[in-house]
Amino acid sequence: MLDPARMDDVLRRGGDVATVVTSWRRLDERRKKLQAELDTKRGARNAANERMSKLDKKSEEFAAARDELKTLSSAIKEGETELATLESTSQQRLLHIPNAPHASVPVGTSEADNPVLHTAGTKPTFTFAPKPHWEVGEQLGILDFEAGARIAGARFTVLRGAASRLNRALINYMLDLHAQHGYDEVWPPAVVRRAALRGTGQLPKFEADLFKLDVAVGPDHVADNDLFLSPTAEVQVTNLHLDSILDAAQLPRKYCAYAPCFRAEAGAHGKDTRGLIRQHQFDKVELVKLTTPETSYAELDGLRQDAERVLSGLGLHYRVVTLCTGDLGFGAAKTYDIEVWLPGQDTYREISSCSNFEDFQARRAKIRYRPSAADKPRPVHTINGSGIAIGRTIVAILENYQQADGSVVIPAALRPYLGGLERITPP
RNA sequence: GGAGGAGUGGCCGAGUGGUCGAAGGCAGCGGUCUUGAAAACCGCCGAGCGCAAGCUCCGGGGGUUCGAAUCCCUCCUCCUCCGCCA
């Protein structure tokens, strides 16, 4: 959650943020006041109890003191109940306040205001009109949208044959590449509980975007046991260190993980209804770093470059944009989006999003480190990014490497992962 | 799913309902000694809230009591054995 000391900075986001901030501030004032009153009463009770422990239990003095303390004790109990309520509502408000944008984030209202950081590679040229991937894939018989819909409904797709193999190959290619750059590979659970989602910021605000399982493991009616399909491996991997204190020597921690991702929000927008772009289920390799505050922005740049390597390795043209305040996600302090070129749709599409959350997630998930043995623990900075989205990479390959005869050439870097396959050809 | 056992500070581990935020040990930090290191000795050494005084925290929640790490209830987690299964 946001560091309460930075409430002013978050207002840069504009919109209705100010309302939530004001509401939280009011509650927090009341909380502090009540806390102080309660502490005074508790102090009095503690002192009185200490005196009592030295009295003869059979004396009249003892009995009198006991009767007197009964009143104080019940007043304290009442105050504690009230404070608990106040604390939880104040905490609840705080969990709904987004992160403060980094000073370098440009002010803007929509993605149209995102400045381009740089572009890499070149657009491929075609002697024919390039088709969108759904046409390429269907003609090759490797993307089966109808079967996906039959089995699970709209926005679920069956990959057949070469597309299925390509999916596997991409996962392995990416994980191998990242391992070479010092990321530790992790294979996490696909489901996550509330505490983990709260830690990374998906909850409590975005529950509607998630697939929630109808069954809980453990006793019913305990919200903490609710299980959700994870929307991104960022949740599992960042929460590897939920509620723990790391040694400074362990930082930066670098992880990569493959995991299927599930998002319920995808269908609601009514856009990207065709093809693989916006699915309820997709595969993704994720990069996560835990760092010190001093190094987090350098590490963000490094992580973004590691994600870019995947695309340049595949010979794909892309550009990197910096998200403006209006486009910045809830928990992010700064985000770079990597957008791959899709000739079949004549547009750039997000294929990776790399963010520095600073201490926002670390405060929620209580992930801290000790700068040196003599220091108090302080929150780490967390960084993550797609490295990269598998489904959209398939989209990019099908569109960029399509040939006049309907076949698709496999990028050289992937061939070792496909038994040397050089080309996907029509049946 | 069934039966038993256990959860205390970074780790191990004590703790008759009252002066216990908690003995002791290990690790860590500072110092003495040493050319340097080791050993030895001395000191420090959990976290959160609060400007501070102070308050809170012994797996979570609830209860009993003037007072709970200690008693009661409940849940969770881990370990052992049995069952089931990929």
How does pLDDT run across A144-158, given as a tens digit for each residue? 999 999 998 889 999
Q: Which helix (H) or strand (E) holds A149?
A: helix A145-152
| Stretch A187-195: mean pLDDT | 87
Tell me the range of A26-30, A70-74, A333-337 where mean pLDDT is highest.
Answer: A333-337
In the set A193, A263, A304, A363, the catalytic residue is A263
Neighbours of A114 (CB within 10 A): 21
Query: From CA A419, how far away is CA A341, in angstroms rounded?
Result: 27
Count Cβ atoms within 10 A of the Cβ of residue A205 and give its class: 0-12 exposed, 13-18 middle, 19 or more buried: middle
Q: Is A13 a catalytic residue?
A: no
Q: Which of A111, A138, A207, A350 is catalytic?
A: A350
Q: What is the DSSP letter of A265?
A: G
- Cα angle: A40, vertex A42, A45; to 5 degrees: 115
Please indicate whether residue A363 is annotated as part of the active site.
no
Residue A5 approaches strand B within 7 Å at CB: no
Chain A 320-359, CB < 7 Å to strand B: none
Q: Is the pLDDT of residue A220 over 50?
A: no
Q: ipTM beyond 0.90?
A: no
Instruction: Quick: pLDDT tens for A373-387.
Output: 778 888 999 999 999
| Contacting residues for A227 by C-beta, under 8 A, at least 6 apart | A191, A192, A193, A212, A213, A215, A216, A217
Please state whether strand B lies within 7 Å of residue A41 at its CB atom.
no
Per DSSP, the three-state class of A384 is strand
- pLDDT value of residue A425: 94
Quote the tokens at residue A138.
């269907």
Given the DSSP bridges, would you call strands A281-291 and A381-389 parallel, antiparallel or unpaired?
Answer: antiparallel
Q: What pLDDT, on a 0 to 100 scale, did the predictor assign at position A53? A: 81
CB of residue A58 closer than 7 A to nucleic acid strand B?
no
Please write the tens of the pLDDT for every residue from A76-120. 888 888 888 888 888 888 888 999 999 999 999 999 999 999 999
Which stretch of A127-131, A208-212, A322-326 has the lowest confidence by average pLDDT?
Answer: A208-212
Q: Which residue has the higher pLDDT, A194 or A422?
A: A422
Mark whether A350 is an active-site residue.
yes
Selected catalytic residue, list A90, A353, A355, A386: A353
DSSP state of A329: -
- Model confidence at A69, pLDDT cuts 50, 70, 90, reads confident
pLDDT above 60: residue A290 = yes
Integer-rounded Cα Rg, in Å, for chain A is 27
For the segment A248-274, the average pLDDT, to the nearest whole number, is 83
- In order of A1, A16, A23, A101, A105, the CA distances from A10 in angstroms are 12, 11, 14, 7, 12
The pLDDT value given to residue A63: 83
Q: Note the pLDDT of residue A221.
A: 46
- Tell me which nucleotides of strand B come within 7 A of a protein CB: 10, 18-19, 28-29, 47-50, 52-56, 62, 66-67, 75-77
SS3 assignment, position A67: helix
Angstrom CA distances, A420 to A27, A394, A397, stand at 64, 18, 16
Q: What is the pLDDT of residue A216?
A: 60
Cβ–Cβ < 8 Å for A163, A142 = yes
Of the listed ranges A26-30, A41-45, A225-229, the one predicted with least confidence: A225-229
What pLDDT shows up at residue A218?
Answer: 54
The H or E element containing residue A83 is: helix A60-95
- A286 is annotated as an active-site residue: no
